[in-house]
Homo-oligomer: A and B are copies of this chain.
Amino acid sequence: MATIYDIAKKAGVSITTVSRVINNHPYVQEETRQRVKQILAETNFIPNSNASSLVRKTTNTLAVMIPDITNNFFTTLLRGIEDKANENGFAVIFGNTDENSSKEYSYLQTFMERRVDGLIIDAVLEESKNLKSIIKREIPVVLIDRQVNDLPIDYVGSNNSKGAEDIVHYLIELGHRQIALVSGAPEISVYRQRLEGYKTAQQKAGLTVDPKLIFWGEKPNQETGYRLTKKLLQNPLRPTAIFAANNFLAIGAFRALHEAHLEVPKDMSVVCFDAADTDATLNPFFTSMVQPSHTIGEMAVELLMRRLKNKKSAPTKVILEPQFFRRESTAKVEMERGGESVEKGNPYAGL
């Protein structure tokens, strides 16, 4: 591959001049610039950014770590990040942690070896051991979605407690009194916050929160949703509604209900956080509280860019409001037949 030496020789100038032309440095005579540009083009020269990164100490690369790109919430988040990064001339490199702390650690390692300029992280756990090592090195980090116990760093997420409160309130309004929570681990901030909202809604309505109706699982995925719901159905006190703390848990719950020959919403109402997926535009089913994930991604990049310019500004926390969508997975309690007599939400509300 051609280097700036080759170009310099052909153009009869020094490599410094070639470098200046490539980087649009002003101190190059127009005539010289044209000659060099010409040769650059003829040669199809492509600069080696590894070399320039080495001396510039900046890579124009940003790393993203998310639990699983396959979950629509994270996909959209990543898309938001990529769009904004591209706009700013940054490349993005990413990893799926699968809620696995040691996978997270190993990705962090490669990202640091690559000397990425900054990281956007949806952390696996709050035990911030993994994160502290980056922060100590003063590599800019923006946390998204999940908060990590009061580290003084930038954060973008949404109002989980308020969102949870509102959606549980909706269930209460429909007449539900036994509402189960099917959730991810309380070690993860968003699930703790959603629990909080779940409790608040009930307390405000003068209901007592029954700990027997709260089900935790480690990983917030389909499998967990399925397993917890199975367990929930064994409960002597069977709830009339389930609040699934995320979309995948809801899908798992739905499968368990289906297997038990329980119909949603006739026999059980189900609501969840996050859109079950893109297809929500076509075939929306779950009444849910949807986070502005694309925006969260964009905001995260913006905070990162800001911090890159000013390493020492105070950490910013951005909390966005999730949006409520009423769909077909919920019904009034104690009706003869399913959702039919319930005013259905506009299934195209999300379009």
A interface residues with partner B (beta carbon < 8 Å): 1, 44, 46-51, 53-54, 59, 61, 68-72, 75-76, 78-79, 82-83, 86, 91-96, 109-110, 112-115, 133, 137, 222, 251, 254-255, 258, 276-283, 285, 348, 351
Contact = CB atoms under 8 A, between A and B. Distances in A.
Nearest to A138: B1
A91 B106 CA distance: 11
Contact of A48 (B54, B95, B279): B54
Contact of A137 (B1, B47, B69): B1
Contacts of A49: 110, 113-115
Given A82-B95, A95-B86, A54 B46 contact: no
B75 A351 contact: no
Nearest to A351: B255
Given A50-B114, A70-B79, 4 more contacts: A46-B113, A93-B93, A251-B282, A279-B280
A275 to B, nearest CB: 9
Given A46-B112, A92-B93, A70 B285 contact: no
A213 to B, nearest CB: 23
A82 B69 contact: yes
A276 B282 contact: yes
A72 B114 contact: no
A279 B252 CA distance: 11
Contacts of A222: 281
Given A91-B110, A133-B44, A279 B277 contact: yes
A50 B53 contact: yes
A298 B79 CA distance: 22
A93 B95 contact: no
A276 B281 CA distance: 11
A290 to B, nearest CB: 14
A50 B54 contact: yes
A48 B115 CA distance: 7
B276 A279 contact: yes
A93 to B, nearest CB: 5
23 contacts: A46-B112, A49-B113, A50-B50, A50-B54, A50-B114, A54-B54, A68-B79, A69-B75, A69-B78, A69-B82, A71-B278, A72-B277, A79-B96, A82-B95, A82-B96, A83-B96, A91-B95, A91-B110, A222-B281, A251-B281, A255-B282, A279-B279, A279-B283
Contact of A283 (B70, B78, B109, B283): B283
